Structure 1
Amino acid sequence: MTPPRKLAGAAILALMLVGGLFMWAGNPYLWIRLTASKADSQNLTMGQAAFILVAIAITGFVMVKVLAVLNGLYAKAMGGSDDVTVRMPWNQSMRDGRTTGRTTSALDVVMVVSVSVALVAAAIWFFFFATYV
């Protein structure tokens, strides 16, 4: 594999990771912040809550489609396959000689990493910074 293909694949993976992080952390923050800035009072109305939920769902759906397109671009950049060689610890054999026969796509790995990072960031914010707001 040529270095430009590896560089393009790495750039697409980084973009997928940013998109995944936005989907889990940035998307809710964006709509809550936007709704709060347009509110007349500090009390949340039922209409505002419904708007936030619908907007998060629609933006999440769009992000899923964007990530699927990026996964396709990654497959083209890497020579037609989006399979990555990642053996999860729970898929390893006790004898370590057998293969599981399961393939893992780049999008699977990106989504697991982005959800993990978003959960850790939310926990850090909750336990260390939320008390000062």
Structure 2
Amino acid sequence: MLRHPENTPTDHNTHPCRSASTRRSNRELIAFDLLRLSGTDTTGWPYRRRRAALESVFAARRLSAPWALCPSTIDADAVREWLTWASVGMEGVVFKRLDDAYRPSVRGGRNTKSARQARRSSAR
């Protein structure tokens, strides 16, 4: 996911989790899955393995702004908290099965919008 200034809420820049360099450029690449690794197709791997590999890439390369690793959890309380983050641009939460391989053009997970996003969608 690539965020761009036109799609970034005006109050998003003030969130303390944003680094100074990201605020200056106002662009970030948010990685949430890994489909290739060093020339290897990882789409057949379960999501749990792809996610672990993605986290390893971020750690090994010490990636920072404009790169961002999308948060991931299996903790229901954390998910409930994330759904309150609409004021900083959080649109919702995607649920993926940990043992599923990546399937192009197939929605295998479940999406839940934040309350603010749900109101926006219903108003259209």
TM-score (norm 2): 0.27
Q: Bigger radius of gyration, 1 or 2? A: 1
TM-score (norm 1): 0.26
